[in-house]
């Protein structure tokens, strides 16, 4: 029995390795670390909120990328930021004027950093203006919108990348590699959670803008992680959602969502997201020879990888690796990668199809939990 189990484990590891190889191959990893050509790719930043600030600071360290235009509803704020990044006033656009960017040769790509329900419109308008699109997660608020974004970018012959920064981040990549190399044996089970106690004035609580609650916002990190850690696509998902009816924050979107996922190899995942408690963001992966934990796993910095497993030589291995990198390096890597893809005509590691897969799974999770999507 134990021999059969071991053989099965090797087979599964090999199968997982094959599917992971495509996304985490040395070439893909090298792409994420390299910088683009000497001619930087000019980016228009659409939406000047919190994540755009991280991205613009990150771009400053990316030799292949440059902020060259801003799109905002607040001219005074845009002028202040333009002065900081040496963007000419003539390259500040309102949302209404944005299509005029078509004739601005200094803009080759856009970064869409707007509320979720605006991603589709601004991606499609940017593609029609001939610009490559790096769009924040979640890709959109429905499967249909996600498909129309992919179609628009294909028709315009521009690249579309979804800003899944963890795919370029060393702690997450090391966790994937340890699993891929079979260090913890046959993966059996994953636990993951991400949530925070949300402020009452956030657009994230407005269903028309957010499309959903914590699942769309931070639960998506856990969902995506279970896919990149296993290298598999879920075969089944079941979810439950709850909300405190007396809390005015949760009139439109869910407060809590928990879900279980089954993968074709037999791996099971158990995940949890909330807007009602600060739970950080982490995952723990249990294999037949030990475990790996990234906690925090999804923050902008301060990530930490721990693992304990029975090594092939029969001795226990114990890892504890804090990641000392500082924000905004994850955003620099993301910009490096997309700019290199534009310059070298490569497909991004996290293309529109990666965002679409998560949207399809979120649609199934919401359906399972009895939540109607937009
Ligand atoms: P934010 O509220 O800080 O910024 C949103 C921006 O959109 C603001 O500049 C705001 O002025 C503008 N905006 C335009 N129309 C708006 C409207 N009708 N209502 C509200 N704002 C409007 O939000 P954020 O935290 O920067 O999130 C923006 C996007 O980035 C979201 O899709 C979010 O999921 C994503 N995000 C990604 C990460 C990541 O780590 N990749 C982290 C946070 C947010």
Strand order in the sheet with 256-262: 236-242, 256-262, 268-274, 187-195, 280-287, 290-294, 304-310, 316-322
Report which of 281, 327, 335, 279 is spatially closest to residue 301, judged by C-alpha positions. Answer: 327
Distance CA 204, CA 333 (A): 27
Last residue of some domain: 306, 324, 342? 324
Say yes or no: 173 and 317 in one domain: yes
Ligand 1 center from residue 164 Cα (angstroms): 15
Distance CA 63, CA 246 (A): 51
Give a yes or no: residue 25 inside a domain.
Answer: no
Catalytic residues: 137, 221
Ligand 1 center from residue 210 Cα (angstroms): 10
169: part of which helix (H) or strand (E)?
A: none
Say yes or no: 239 and 145 in one domain: no
- The residue whose CB lies within 8 Å of the most ligand 1 atoms, and thus the one to mutate among 47, 172, 206, is 47
Ligand 1 center from residue 260 Cα (angstroms): 29
Give a yes or no: residue 363 inside a domain.
Answer: no
| Contact present, 272 and 213 (Cβ < 8 Å) | no
Give a yes or no: residue 219 inside a domain.
Answer: yes
Atom of ligand 1 nearest to the CA of 116: 32
Say yes or no: 122 and 214 in one domain: no
- Write the burial class of residue 237 (CB in 10 Å: 0-12 exposed, 13-18 middle, 19+ buried): buried
| Contact present, 297 and 279 (Cβ < 8 Å) | no
Say yes or no: 213 and 119 in one domain: no
Q: Could you read off the pLDDT tens digit of each residue along the chain, which spans 374 residues?
A: 333 333 323 333 333 333 443 444 333 433 444 444 469 999 999 999 999 999 999 999 999 999 999 999 999 999 999 999 999 999 999 999 999 999 999 999 999 999 999 999 999 999 999 999 999 999 999 999 999 999 999 999 999 999 999 999 999 999 999 999 999 999 999 999 999 999 999 999 999 999 999 999 999 999 999 999 999 999 999 999 999 999 999 999 999 999 999 999 999 999 999 999 999 899 999 999 999 999 999 999 999 999 999 999 999 999 999 999 999 999 999 999 999 999 999 999 999 999 999 999 999 999 999 999 99
The count of structural domains within the chain is 2
Say yes or no: 134 and 211 in one domain: no
Which residue's alpha carbon is at the smallest distance from atom 12 of ligand 1? 47
Atom of ligand 1 nearest to the CA of 330: 40
Say yes or no: 284 and 213 in one domain: yes
Distance CA 354, CA 352 (A): 5
HSE on the CB side for 18, CA within 13 Å? 5
Q: Which two tokens stand for residue 159?
A: 């690249």
- pLDDT for 11: 33
Q: Beta-strand (E) ranges in 155-253?
A: 160-162, 187-195, 236-242
Say yes or no: 137 and 182 in one domain: no
Distances (CA, A) of 352 to 109, 139, 285, 315, 327: 15, 8, 27, 43, 25
Say yes or no: 113 and 182 in one domain: no
Give a yes or no: residue 58 inside a domain.
Answer: yes
Ligand 1 center from residue 72 Cα (angstroms): 12
DSSP for 16-85, written as a single string: HHHHHHHHH-HHHHHHHHS---SSPEEEEEE--SHHHHHHHHHHTT-TTEEEEEEE-S-HHHHHHHHHHT
- The residue whose CB lies within 8 Å of the most ligand 1 atoms, and thus the one to mutate among 46, 49, 333, is 49
- The residue whose CB lies within 8 Å of the most ligand 1 atoms, and thus the one to mutate among 136, 211, 224, is 136
Report which of 155, 259, 249 is spatially closest to residue 203, judged by C-alpha positions. Answer: 249
Q: For the domain that residue 42 is a member of, what is the CATH number? A: 3.40.50.720
Distance CA 97, CA 94 (A): 5
Q: Which two tokens stand for residue 289?
A: 């020879």
Give a yes or no: residue 360 inside a domain.
Answer: no
What pLDDT, in 10s, does the model give residues 65-111? Answer: 999 999 999 999 999 999 999 999 999 999 999 999 999 999 999 99
Atom of ligand 1 nearest to the CA of 300: 40
Give a yes or no: residue 117 inside a domain.
Answer: yes
Say yes or no: 317 and 172 in one domain: yes
Find the residues whose C-beta lies inside 6 A of ligand 1. Answer: 47-52, 73, 113-116, 136-137, 163, 165, 203, 209, 217
| Contact present, 43 and 107 (Cβ < 8 Å) | yes
Distance CA 337, CA 323 (A): 21
Say yes or no: 74 and 128 in one domain: yes
Ligand 1 center from residue 139 Cα (angstroms): 13
- pLDDT for 38: 65
Q: Which two tokens stand for residue 216?
A: 């769309």
Look up residue 276 and give its DSSP letter: S
Contacts of 335 (CB under 8 A, 6+ apart): 43, 55, 58, 59, 62, 64, 65, 134
Task: Quote the domain boundaries for residue 59.
Answer: 32-163+332-350
Give a yes or no: residue 23 inside a domain.
Answer: no
Atom of ligand 1 nearest to the CA of 298: 40
- The residue whose CB lies within 8 Å of the most ligand 1 atoms, and thus the one to mutate among 72, 110, 114, 121, is 114
Say yes or no: 187 and 311 in one domain: yes
Atom of ligand 1 nearest to the CA of 95: 14
- pLDDT for 4: 32
Say yes or no: 122 and 243 in one domain: no
Give a yes or no: residue 373 inside a domain.
Answer: no
Q: For the domain that residue 299 is a member of, what is the CATH number? A: 3.30.360.10
Ligand 1 center from residue 178 Cα (angstroms): 34
Ligand 1 center from residue 48 Cα (angstroms): 8
Which residue's alpha carbon is at the smallest distance from atom 31 of ligand 1? 115
């Amino acid at each position: 029995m134990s021999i059969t189990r071991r053989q099965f484990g090797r087979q599964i590891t090999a199968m997982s390795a094959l599917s992971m190889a495509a996304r985490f191959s040395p070439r893909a990893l090298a792409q994420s670390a390299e910088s683009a050509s000497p001619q930087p790719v000019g980016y228009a930043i659409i939406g000047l909120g919190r994540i755009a600030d991280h991205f613009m600071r990150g771009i400053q360290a990316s030799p292949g990328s440059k902020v060259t235009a801003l799109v905002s509803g607040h001219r005074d704020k845009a002028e202040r930021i333009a002065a900081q990044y040496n963007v000419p006033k003539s390259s500040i656009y309102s949302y209404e004027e944005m299509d005029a960017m078509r004739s601005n040769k200094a803009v080759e790509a856009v970064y869409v950093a707007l509320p979720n329900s605006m991603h589709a419109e601004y991606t499609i308008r940017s593609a029609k203006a001939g610009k490559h699109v790096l769009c924040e997660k979640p890709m959109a608020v429905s499967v249909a919108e996600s498909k129309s974004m992919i179609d628009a970018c294909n028709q315009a012959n521009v690249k579309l990348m979804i800003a899944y920064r963890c795919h370029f981040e060393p702690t997450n990549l090391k966790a994937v590699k340890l699993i891929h190399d079979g260090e913890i044996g046959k993966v059996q089970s994953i636990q993951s959670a991400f949530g925070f106690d949300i402020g009452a004035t956030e657009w994230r609580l407005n269903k028309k803008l957010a499309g959903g609650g914590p699942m769309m916002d931070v639960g998506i990190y856990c969902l995506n992680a279970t896919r990149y850690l296993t290298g598999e696509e879920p075969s089944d998902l079941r979810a439950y959602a709850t909300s405190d009816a007396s809390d005015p924050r949760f009139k439109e979107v869910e407060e809590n969502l928990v879900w279980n996922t089954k993968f074709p190899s037999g791996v099971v995942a158990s995940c949890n997201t909330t807007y009602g408690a600060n739970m950080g963001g982490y995952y723990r992966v249990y294999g037949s020879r030990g475990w790996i934990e990234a906690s925090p796993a999804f923050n902008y910095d301060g990530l930490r990888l721990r693992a304990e497993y029975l090594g092939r030589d029969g001795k226990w291995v114990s890892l504890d690796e804090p990641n000392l990198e500082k924000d905004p390096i994850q955003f620099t890597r993301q910009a490096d990668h997309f700019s290199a893809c534009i310059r070298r005509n490569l497909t991004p590691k996290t293309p529109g199809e990666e965002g679409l897969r998560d949207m399809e799974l979120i649609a199934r999770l919401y359906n399972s939990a009895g939540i109607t999507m937009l």
